[in-house]
Structure 1
Amino acid sequence: VVGYNGSGKTNLLSSIFTFIRNLNSGIERKTVDDPEGSYSLLWHTYDITKPIYLGGTIYFSEDEVARVVGKRVPYRIEVLNKVQYDRKTITWSVEKLLVNSSPVDSDTLKDVKVLFSYASGLVEYVPIYDATYFDEAIKRMIELYKSPLHLKRLWYDFVNLVSSTIPEVKGLEIWEGNRLVLNVENLPVYVDLAASGFQRVIMMLFIIWASGNKVMLIEEPEVNMHPNLQARVIKLIKEWSSRSNFQVFITSHSPYFVSTKVIESVIVMKRKGSSSTAVQVNLDSTLDLMLSILRVRLTDLLFSRTVILTAQQVEPVVLLNWLRRIGVPIDEEGITAFKVSSDYELGVWRRVIERLKLSVIYVGLCESLTGPERELCVPFYKNVEDYFSRDVLPTVLKTLGIHLEDKELKELNKSDITSWLIQVAKRRGVDYERIRTSLGDIMSNNDTIEMPKEIEILANKLKTVQEIA
């Protein structure tokens, strides 16, 4: 689950947790007093004067149903619970309840209650950091370490798991005072004195390893982890979830998690006013192919709030530098820019935009657009090179290893700058497009360079789009 801070990632996990833990609450028409407003914190910044609906589909396999209620039939239960706040009292009611797409009779309802009671205990929330929560995890580890001999193998299984995930940790023991000790490169280190990344990974590995077939909700597991360790952990979680009923929802700001090939689905949270929208993106081979054609990384798009697509004459890095110079906080606002080289690429971009629900502005592409797309376009007809200073250009080229001859310096004052640059590069056996980005980056960072009026128009359109998005 990805998205900007405040986009609703934690609220999504809280909703899933509350939904599963309270599956029976709607059927039982449960009422809870909340004098301190503790429950309302789950919906911080949302309008709780309106009903809150928590719904989903719960699947129970034949084996689960047989084990829990003694019937060998799979159950697919659709449930929608309504939560209403009224004077610090919370009332639950059920709005929808279907089993295998059919309304429930009294006998089936009894089964549903038993199954819901069973399922409500199969969810665990792993916070970013909660001292009490992790202290409880250590207590569970101590109990496992001190277990009877015939169960001790489980402890060694866990130790081997830690060592294979973190090669620097050669072993784990419980010493006097019930303190967990790590063998780090054959040196004993108390866990509370170990690197914070080691602490978190070991605690998290134990919690997930001991979770059985629970639904795990994990907040930002990448905190304090080296990228290599992040890759190992997410691969391990994927392996576990593939072998059992274990499911996991992870909130993350880590591009390493998303860029690994083990991730099959990403939920992108987008905030608009007092509500959030969750967009599910399936990471399949078709999406991989489209991104490969566009030479764009998935993480560059998923972690952006607004994408600018430019025509061939508009070098993206130049555009972004110009926006920075007039005070647009490009990095803080998550604005990225990419060049569209052909109508074919534009068509591929349209498919990617639809898949990822991207917020997009176009620059210089207006003639290729119609309808709503054209309304999001800023005209730009010149090459960005037309705004480069002829006085500064020779010095900048010299930093790129291109020393101009006297004849070329004279030609500079007479020629179109773009054509001149192409010829200068060609004489040296260089394709100008290979150095255009670097040259444009340096030139557009120079305060003496002229800026087109279209940049102000673009800045205003960005502001409007981000307010709407």
Structure 2
Amino acid sequence: MKIINFYVDNFRSLSNIRLEDLGGLNVIVGYNGYGKTNLLTAIYLFIKNLNAGIEKRSIEDRDQEYMLLWRDYDITKPISIGGVIEFSEEEVQKSIGKSQKLRVEVVNKLRYNNRFIEWSLESFSVNNSPPTRDQFEEVKSLFSLASQSVEYVPIFDQTYFDAILKKMIEMNRSPINMRRKWYDFVNLIGEVIPEIKGIEFWDSGKLVLNIQNLPIYIDLAASGFQRVILMLFILWLSGRKILLLEEPEVNMYPTLQSRIMKLIKDWTNNNVFQVFITTHSPYIISSTVDNYIIMKKKNGVSSAIKVTLDEQLRTITGILRVNLGDVLFNRLIVLTSELAEPSVILNWLRRIGISNDELGIGIYKVNNELELQLWLKMREMLGLDVIFLGLCDKIDINLKDYCVPLGREIENYYTKGRLIDVIRKFGVYPDEKELRDLTKEETYRWLVNVFKKRGIDYDKIRNSIGELVTMYDGVEMPKEMEILANKIKSLESI
């Protein structure tokens, strides 16, 4: 079973989301509070209730808890949730005895009426055609099977993981002819975590890990080992399922994250299962995935776009020398012209209360027209929020509201005494004539000439010098920084 398309509207923070041509391994990214968990929950609700619209299911909301499913708790509008699901020949054969693939599209509506949630069917098709009476009943049977074939793995839920551990005990104690599965699972652990030489249950019923030939109870082992063993067991039992993994990287060191992702990718390539992962990990982002689902939020409403890491996107990030994970994990991108250096802009923004770490701001320098066009293309592909600094004459007029002019090089704002102290730290000691010239020439041109006389390309160390000069409050700051800060705050509040 595989979700090909997924649609949801008016569910929690989510509005008008349509994701099409989904792959086997789908990674969901976005800033905190942008709706990643809501999207996982919506997918889970969809699969668990595929038959709800057909059956016109009605659920009483005695404690008014289900009202929380509605965006802004506005129960006057229905929730729409649906998609396209593809069932393999094996699944269809198992359910209805026919050897054929089926692709079913179903969209359900949820309405709130007098403390009852009422499901209804909005649209329904089988292999792109209205279903016959026989197909209608066959699909109902398939949907019943599908509702048992989705697994939501939370970040941490003690009850959930206790249940997983109980299943491990049951497999370990299974009849001898079934024990082979257990040994296969133990071998899998050894492949993914070489430090673990074996696992077994002792008479106390506790799981014991053989770590470098030392027996350790699982609850005394490193938390990363605990989580990855339980995660591996979930993966091991999830053939033909849709897996919803919430931040699987928690407590896992980077190498382990990479191994888990490689295993998941191998299994999704072989159609063992389909996976949707929410993450904040650059190691998961940098893995080979089929799709990125990028969450966005505006005026309290979450949306999503699907992006495939194709050759074009790889080429763009390669030419720009940027890490895709860094770009995706930022809420806002600031692009500066050749007049400014990113480290200087960061220091100035900090001085007026704008923290790039807290607000998720990435600052990148645009060195030429080619780089600008590539950034504009990536902005379009990834749905990036971008502010342009000093590039106003090079962008389209429809982007002018997102641009801040910058009239001269940042060096012209440096305090002369502080600048001299810094360049001396680089082993450059201007002579008396050069010091006199500093008051006559523009500072940037002066620095270029001073360093050139000593065989040094100033532009190669410009960012480092700028960071050292502007890390102290005594340096003058251009008024354009206040304008930039206000634009950042305005985008933050949206």
Normalised by the length of structure 2, the TM-score is 0.91
Helix, strand or coil at the partner of 1:177? coil
Alignment match, 1:296: 322
- 1:202-281 → structure 2 map (5 Å cutoff): 202-260=229-287, 262-281=288-307
Helix, strand or coil at the partner of 1:361? strand
Following the alignment from structure 1 to structure 2, what is the Cα–Cα distance between the partners of residues 404 and 232?
A: 54
Relative to structure 1, the CA distance from residue 352 to residue 250 in structure 2 (aligned partners, 3 Å threshold; closer, same or farther) is: same
| Post-superposition offset of 1:41 | 4.5
Deviations 1:279-330 (A, max 9, x none): 1111112101001111111012101111111111111221121111011122
Which segments of 5 or more consecutive residues in structure 2 lack a partner in the other structure?
A: 1-27
Following the alignment from structure 1 to structure 2, what is the Cα–Cα distance between the partners of residues 97 and 324?
A: 54
Residue 359 of structure 2 corresponds to residue 333 of structure 1: yes
| Post-superposition offset of 1:348 | 1.1
Alignment match, 2:59: 32
Which among 141, 162, 165 is matched to residue 189 of structure 2?
A: 162
Paired-residue identity, %:
51
Relative to structure 1, the CA distance from residue 238 to residue 42 in structure 2 (aligned partners, 3 Å threshold; closer, same or farther) is: farther
Alignment match, 2:12: none
Helix, strand or coil at the partner of 1:234? helix
| Post-superposition offset of 1:411 | 2.9
Relative to structure 1, the CA distance from residue 198 to residue 40 in structure 2 (aligned partners, 3 Å threshold; closer, same or farther) is: farther
Residue 384 of structure 2 corresponds to residue 345 of structure 1: no
Following the alignment from structure 1 to structure 2, what is the Cα–Cα distance between the partners of residues 42 and 460?
A: 34
Q: Pick which of 51-60 and 370-379 moved more.
A: 370-379
Residue 195 of structure 2 corresponds to residue 195 of structure 1: no
Aligned residue identity for 1:270: K
| Post-superposition offset of 1:214 | 0.4
| Post-superposition offset of 1:245 | 4.1
Alignment match, 2:390: 364
8 Å contact kept, 2:70–2:79: no
Aligned residue identity for 1:352: M
Deviations 1:386-435 (A, max 9, x none): 10111111111122333333443333233221111112222232211211
Helix, strand or coil at the partner of 1:81? strand
Alignment match, 2:87: 60
Residue 135 of structure 2 corresponds to residue 108 of structure 1: yes
Aligned residue identity for 1:203: L
| Post-superposition offset of 1:20 | 0.2
Following the alignment from structure 1 to structure 2, what is the Cα–Cα distance between the partners of residues 6 and 419?
A: 46
Aligned residue identity for 1:165: V
Deviations 1:52-78 (A, max 9, x none): 111110011233223321223321111
Tell me how many residue pairs correspond in the alignment: 467
Which among 175, 179, 199 is matched to residue 148 of structure 1?
A: 175
Alignment match, 1:74: 101
Following the alignment from structure 1 to structure 2, what is the Cα–Cα distance between the partners of residues 402 and 184?
A: 55
Following the alignment from structure 1 to structure 2, what is the Cα–Cα distance between the partners of residues 353 and 39?
A: 37
Aligned residue identity for 2:384: L
Alignment match, 1:125: 152
Following the alignment from structure 1 to structure 2, what is the Cα–Cα distance between the partners of residues 43 and 228?
A: 40
Alignment match, 1:385: 411
Alignment match, 2:210: 183
Stretches (4+) displaced over 6 A: none
Alignment match, 2:8: none
Which among 431, 454, 459 is matched to residue 457 of structure 2?
A: 431
Following the alignment from structure 1 to structure 2, what is the Cα–Cα distance between the partners of residues 148 and 404?
A: 84
Which segments of 5 or more consecutive residues in structure 1 lack a partner in the other structure?
A: none
8 Å contact kept, 1:14–1:42: no
| Post-superposition offset of 1:110 | 0.8
Relative to structure 1, the CA distance from residue 292 to residue 246 in structure 2 (aligned partners, 3 Å threshold; closer, same or farther) is: same
Which among 36, 39, 59 is matched to residue 9 of structure 1?
A: 36
Which among 42, 51, 54 is matched to residue 78 of structure 2?
A: 51
| Post-superposition offset of 1:256 | 1.0
| Post-superposition offset of 1:160 | 1.2
Relative to structure 1, the CA distance from residue 47 to residue 398 in structure 2 (aligned partners, 3 Å threshold; closer, same or farther) is: farther
8 Å contact kept, 1:46–1:275: no
Helix, strand or coil at the partner of 2:343? helix
Relative to structure 1, the CA distance from residue 221 to residue 426 in structure 2 (aligned partners, 3 Å threshold; closer, same or farther) is: same
Aligned residue identity for 2:392: C
Alignment match, 2:424: 398
Following the alignment from structure 2 to structure 1, what is the Cα–Cα distance between the partners of residues 75 and 343?
A: 44
Deviations 1:20-51 (A, max 9, x none): 00000001000011212343445575544421
| Post-superposition offset of 1:459 | 1.1
| Post-superposition offset of 1:458 | 1.0
Following the alignment from structure 1 to structure 2, what is the Cα–Cα distance between the partners of residues 152 and 425?
A: 73
Aligned residue identity for 1:202: I
Relative to structure 1, the CA distance from residue 270 to residue 47 in structure 2 (aligned partners, 3 Å threshold; closer, same or farther) is: farther
8 Å contact kept, 2:82–2:105: yes
Following the alignment from structure 2 to structure 1, what is the Cα–Cα distance between the partners of residues 348 and 73?
A: 37
Aligned residue identity for 1:117: S
Helix, strand or coil at the partner of 2:55? coil
Aligned residue identity for 1:364: G
Aligned residue identity for 2:329: F
Helix, strand or coil at the partner of 1:244? coil
| Post-superposition offset of 1:177 | 2.0
Normalised by the length of structure 1, the TM-score is 0.96
CA RMSD of aligned residues (A): 1.5
Following the alignment from structure 2 to structure 1, what is the Cα–Cα distance between the partners of residues 406 and 136?
A: 64
